[in-house]
Amino acid sequence: MLETVNLRFEFRDEDLETGEITSDEVLHGISLKIEKGSFVAVLGHNGSGKSTLAKHFNAILTPTSGEVLVGGINTRDKKRLFDIRKSCGMVFQNPDNQIVAAIVEDEIAFAPENLGVEPHIIRQRVDSSLKAVGMYEDIHSETANLSGGQKQRVAIAGVLAMSPSCIVLDEPTAMLDPKGRREVLKIINHLNKSKKMTVVLITHFMDEAAMADRTIVIDEGKILLDGTPKEVFSHIDTLDGIGLDVPGVTRLIHRLRADGFSLPPDIITTDEAAGAILRLLKKDTQK
Amino acid sequence: MIKVENLNCIYGEGLPSEKQALFDISLEIPDGRICAVIGHTGSGKSTLIQHFNALLRPTSGKIYIDGLDITDKKTKLNDIRKKVGLVFQYPEYQLFEETVYRDIAFGPKNSGLSESEIDRRVRRAAELLEIREGLLKKSPFELSGGQKRRVAIAGVLATEPSVLILDEPTAGLDPKGRERILSIIGSLHREHPQMIIIFVSHSMEDVAKTAEDIIVLDHGRVYMHGSVDEVFADSSRLLETGLDIPEMSKLVLALKKSGVDINTDIYTPDAAYNRIKRILTENGG
Ligand SMILES: Nc1ncnc2c1ncn2[C@@H]1O[C@H](COP(=O)(O)OP(=O)(O)O)[C@@H](O)[C@H]1O
Ligand SMILES: Nc1ncnc2c1ncn2[C@@H]1O[C@H](COP(=O)(O)OP(=O)(O)O)[C@@H](O)[C@H]1O
Ligand SMILES: [Mg+2]
Ligand SMILES: [Mg+2]
């Protein structure tokens, strides 16, 4: 569905006074394949290149060298820009910066209208997209009056109205409160599990990464780790080394294992941790 | 000390849009405490703390800071702002001076201090907020998000308040950025042991790591108020209002529910590790 081949990207800056051009390579040869219908979380601290990578997935940026293919289309192909944007939508971090219309309904209709989609189809898409994110009741609400979580759900609906097969979300929950975060995560999970959409979720929250099928850790413009969340979080020392968190229970079980307790090495949720500790206790009482 | 007596706040009183945001709040915060304010969005956290520096005036009720009645119309705003520094949510959007130095100096300049005193304060605040000397000459717009936020906090700290209030200081930062702000709050506390530090947060891990006391607001009322130990020991009450609890509290509750003899006052990673290790050892694991 998404593929990058030795993707390198540099930002170029021109000094207005001297005309001198400086360049700064921020992605250093990223190659990865994201399968259709998968749920991929991307971790990495600020400045590691996550957003720059994400912007390649709907051709906001194109590679300095290497290739990016979205549903088989090379993002360098300017004539296919609409097709790329239609098949892969993006949602950004700040709920206040990405909503343009005053009324929810208009916000959702905006992109398909621009693409010349027929009015009765737009109508259907607006309704179904809002229903998919649980915001249909707010169809006539003013966007300014919505909570952060609601705004993000409207932004997601705006993407769904293009009926894409893939959605890339760049820290969509970073500015939300826990309730808003839960709402948005539920929708993201639903889009992946029930609607089989390909999801790329950039996040700083370990529990969000744990929801994914696959977690990719980016560090200084390179892929550092790539695997299931269980595999990735088992590299505690590597993650510590670059100052990234792991789930608290993963660290706890890791410490207990170092003390010699025979607990499994791949615990990433509280339920799994409780289960493993209970099993160890039960086993002991049976002796 | 901060003392709040029967504080009520009604926005737009008398208008059709009238909305009561705070209901009969009474509480005390002793000197030298780090106090977290938690609660759902809309529960009144920002409204409450904006009363502490008289940005908002109570509809009724009294607030005393170090004995000064800040709700008395005769009390000068300047005297209040000298005592109480408030850092807004996402304060980095409010930097506007040409250099970082001037942004930090803005507050102390306004209180009519001498140049040398202003300079001392700017440098001291920059040091505490881990802002390197070299950054002081830069434009705030050249800085990263985390750096900008620290500059904004330094600007408030440079007024040397006896109460420092931060509205969601770690919101939107990455784990490293959060960690940094929290450790700075810790070191401010050690540097100024008498200063009251109040911060609003949605992250229970941040609160567990940094705060000593917690005020839980729910629908404009004080729902819980106590030491971190007391509030988190009663984490099922937090769950009842739909709030999050620390990850270790979740684990402890799950173990307890399955019959493990473990106290719910465990909420930090170290305490959980020590207790669970003991349980496993005692059971011959
Ligand atoms: N428009 C830009 N011009 C120049 N450099 C940029 C620009 N946007 C980002 N960068 C730099 O590229 C690097 C990667 O940034 P970004 O992709 O935003 O990282 P992340 O999303 O992981 O925080 C950083 O060093 C950042 O400073
Ligand atoms: N300036 C205002 N005018 C009218 N209502 C407001 C204003 N500011 C906040 N409110 C309302 O007061 C309540 C408490 O808001 P706030 O203190 O911002 O909560 P929190 O900081 O806990 O999210 C909310 O219902 C909010 O809508
Ligand atoms: Mg980013
Ligand atoms: Mg608030």
Ligand 1 midpoint to CA A257 (Å):
38
Residue B285 confidence (pLDDT) above 60: no
Distance from CA of B276 to the nearest CA of A (A): 8
Q: Does A147 touch chain B (CB under 8 A)?
A: yes
For residue A286, what pLDDT band results from cuts at 50, 70 and 90?
low
Binary contact (A252, B248; C-beta < 8 A)? yes
Range A280-284 average pLDDT: 78
Interface of B with A in 59-118 (CB under 8 A): none
Q: How far apart are CA B25 and CA B4, in angstroms?
A: 7
In a domain, B163, yes or no: yes
pLDDT at B111: 79
Q: Does B39 touch chain A (CB under 8 A)?
A: no
Closest partner residue to B41 (CB to CB) among A179, A284, A285 is: A179
Bridge-based pairing state of the strands A88-91 and A166-170: parallel
Q: How far apart are CA A231 and CA A266, in angstroms?
A: 7
pLDDT at B237: 95
Q: Does B273 touch chain A (CB under 8 A)?
A: yes
For residue A19, what pLDDT band results from cuts at 50, 70 and 90?
confident
Q: Is the shortest distance between the CB of A150 and ligand 1 below 6 Å?
A: no
- Per-residue pLDDT of A59-85, as tens digits, reads 999 999 999 999 999 999 999 998 999
Token pair for A230: 């269980």
Selected residue of A281, A283, A287 to mutate for chain B interface (largest B Cβ count, 10 A): A281
Q: Which residues of B touch A281 (CB under 8 A)?
A: 260, 279-280, 283, 285
Provide, rounded to the nearest whole percent, the portion of chain B with pLDDT above 70. 99
Q: How far apart are CA A32 and CA A29, in angstroms?
A: 10
The answer to whether B154 and B123 are in contact (CB under 8 A) is: no
- Per-residue pLDDT of B203-233, as tens digits, reads 999 999 999 999 999 999 999 999 999 999 9
Smallest CA separation from ligand 2 atom 9, residue: B47
pLDDT at B158: 95
Q: Does B208 touch chain A (CB under 8 A)?
A: no
The answer to whether B213 and B227 are in contact (CB under 8 A) is: yes
DSSP E strands, chain A: 2-14, 21-34, 39-43, 65-70, 73-74, 88-91, 166-170, 198-202, 214-219, 222-227
Residue B255 neighbours by CB under 8 Å, 6+ apart: A274, A277, A278, B262, B276
Distance from CA of A270 to the nearest CA of B (A): 5
Binary contact (B276, A252; C-beta < 8 A)? yes
Q: Does A254 touch chain B (CB under 8 A)?
A: no
Number of domains in chain B: 1
- Per-residue pLDDT of A30-69, as tens digits, reads 999 999 999 999 999 888 999 999 999 999 999 999 999 9
Q: Which residues of B touch A244 (CB under 8 A)?
A: 175
Residue B162 confidence (pLDDT) above 90: yes
For residue B284, what pLDDT band results from cuts at 50, 70 and 90?
low
Token pair for A243: 């100052």
Bridge-based pairing state of the strands B2-11 and B19-29: antiparallel
- Per-residue pLDDT of A236-254, as tens digits, reads 999 989 888 899 999 999 9
Whole-number Cα distances in Å, B62 to B4, B25, B26, B67, B72: 6, 10, 9, 11, 8
Token pair for B104: 């930090």
- Per-residue pLDDT of A81-134, as tens digits, reads 989 998 999 999 888 888 889 999 999 998 888 878 888 999 999 999 999 899
pTM to 2 decimal places = 0.88
Residue A196 neighbours by CB under 8 Å, 6+ apart: A36, A37
Domain ranges of chain A: 2-227
Whole-number Cα distances in Å, B189 to A23, B149, B151, B217: 42, 19, 18, 24
Q: Which residues of B touch A147 (CB under 8 A)?
A: 41-42
- Per-residue pLDDT of B20-54, as tens digits, reads 999 999 999 999 999 999 999 899 999 999 999 99
Smallest CA separation from ligand 1 atom 7, residue: A11
Ligand 1 midpoint to CA A11 (Å):
8
Residue B152 confidence (pLDDT) above 90: yes
The verdict on domain A2-227 having CATH code 3.40.140.10 is no
Specify the DSSP element, H or E, that contains B218. Answer: strand B213-218
For residue A283, what pLDDT band results from cuts at 50, 70 and 90?
low
pLDDT at A287: 45
In a domain, B265, yes or no: no
- The set of long-range contacts for A270-279, using a CB threshold of 8 Å and a minimum separation of 24, is A270/B247, A270/B250, A270/B251, A270/B254, A271/B254, A273/A249, A273/B251, A274/B251, A274/B254, A274/B255, A274/B258, A277/B255, A277/B260, A277/B276, A277/B280, A278/B255, A278/B258, A278/B260
Q: How far apart are CA B22 and CA A100, in angstroms?
A: 33
Specify the DSSP element, H or E, that contains A186. Answer: helix A178-193
Q: How far apart are CA A119 and CA B247, in angstroms?
A: 48
For residue A176, what pLDDT band results from cuts at 50, 70 and 90?
confident
Fill in the amino acid letter for B151: V
Question: Can you give the residue range of the structural domain that contains B190?
Answer: 2-227
pLDDT at A14: 79
| Nearest of A52, A60, A54, A57 to residue A70 by alpha carbon | A57
The answer to whether B147 and B134 are in contact (CB under 8 A) is: no
| Nearest of B77, B79, B95, B78 to residue B154 by alpha carbon | B95
Binary contact (B40, A249; C-beta < 8 A)? no
Query: From its phi and psi, is residue A41 left (phi > 0), alpha (psi between -120 and 50) or beta?
Result: beta
Q: How far apart are CA A156 and CA A145, in angstroms?
A: 17
Higher local confidence (pLDDT), A14 or A184 = A184
For residue B199, what pLDDT band results from cuts at 50, 70 and 90?
very high
Binary contact (B283, A47; C-beta < 8 A)? no
In a domain, B283, yes or no: no
For residue B94, what pLDDT band results from cuts at 50, 70 and 90?
confident
Token pair for A107: 């916000």
Smallest CA separation from ligand 2 atom 26, residue: B42
Q: Does B30 touch chain A (CB under 8 A)?
A: no
In a domain, B113, yes or no: yes
| Nearest of B271, B278, B284 to residue A282 by alpha carbon | B284
In a domain, B241, yes or no: no
pLDDT at A284: 58
Task: Give the CATH number of the domain where residue B11 resides.
Answer: 3.40.50.300
Specify the DSSP element, H or E, that contains B196. Answer: strand B196-200
Closest partner residue to A177 (CB to CB) among B41, B144, B258 is: B41
Whole-number Cα distances in Å, A106 to A86, A118, A127, A204, B87: 18, 15, 12, 32, 36
